[in-house]
Amino acid sequence: MPKFRILGLILSLFGGPALAAPTKILVFGDSLVSGYGVRDSEAFPIVLSQRLQADGYDVVIANAGVPGNTTAMGLARVEEAAASKPDLVILELGTNDLLNNVALRTTRTNLVRLIRRFQTAGARIILAGMIADDRRGATYKQGFDALYPALATKYALPLYPYFLEGVANDPALTQEGGLHPNAAGVRAIVTRIAPLVERTLDEMGAKPQ
């Protein structure tokens, strides 16, 4: 089964007994988190799971990253994802909207709907932001770059401002093209984002053992 056919995997990971269950984390995004171009064992959800477990957190993480997904495509599968009842969602979408010239208003509307749906399902959300390059002009870049901080403020979400911080365009950390992280890049992202994830887990009462 391809790694991006994730519903069955999510349900199998999250379908255990309720008593003393691990915290269920869903990584919901695109190719940046799916494991595109790296081994399955080197994908962001796996490496993050290893880091959190090494730090004493009892978690299970499902990979709901689908290469090429826009925010609209994320919306098309959010009902099934929300039905798995994750405790925490790392929401990473928007890069493909940028690459496909999706109107900023549409991206904002879709992200709001995703946030609200996961919140309705009872999940805490960490919003993973992106920033735009200059190809669509300064006005668009200003609006896109401000989108994730504004949504995080409005919906009281922990924000990781730029998912590719310290990784994008570094040939030592990215695959050809400078966008997708290689295995070293994934590890670098996990090192940077793990403190935020752990603070969020602490706030949820899922403290390390």
Q: Which amino acid type is present at position 92?
A: E
Q: Could you list the residue range(s) of the whole structural domain that residue 176 is in? A: 21-203
Q: What percent of the chain has pLDDT over 90?
A: 86
The 8 Å CB, 24+ separation contacts for 138-143 are: 140/104, 143/104
pLDDT tens digits for range 115-169: 999 999 999 999 999 999 888 899 999 999 999 999 999 999 999 999 999 999 9
Residue 8 lies in a domain: no
Measured in whole angstroms, the distance separating CA 146 from the mean position of its chain's CA atoms is 18
Number of domains, the chain: 1
> Residue 126 in contact with residue 199, Cβ under 8 Å?
no
pLDDT at 1: 40
Residue 188 lies in a domain: yes
Give pLDDT, residue 3: 43
Scan for tokens 């915290």, then name that residue.
23
In a domain, 14, yes or no: no
Residue 6 near residue 30 (C-beta atoms within 8 A): no
pLDDT higher than threshold 60 for residue 90: yes
Other CB atoms within 10 A of residue 55 CB: 15
Q: Which amino acid is at 186?
A: V
Cα separation, 28 vs 114, whole angstroms:
10
pLDDT tens digits along 59-71: 999 999 999 999 9
In a domain, 104, yes or no: yes
Q: Calculate mean pLDDT across residues 5-34.
A: 74
Rounded CA separation 46/27 (Å): 10
The per-residue pLDDT for 86 is 98
Task: Please check whether residue 68 lies inside any domain of the structure.
Answer: yes
* Residue 131 tokens, joined: 């920033």
Provide the pLDDT for residue 4.
41
d(Cα 128, Cα 68) in Å, to the nearest integer?
A: 17
Q: In whole numbers, what is the pLDDT of the chain averaged over residues?
A: 92
pLDDT value of residue 209:
81
Residue 134 lies in a domain: yes
Mapped onto helix, strand or coil, the DSSP state of residue 209 is coil
CATH number for the domain spanning 138: value is 3.40.50.1110
Q: Where are the alpha helices (DSSP H) in the chain?
A: 7-14, 31-34, 44-54, 71-83, 95-99, 104-120, 138-154, 183-203
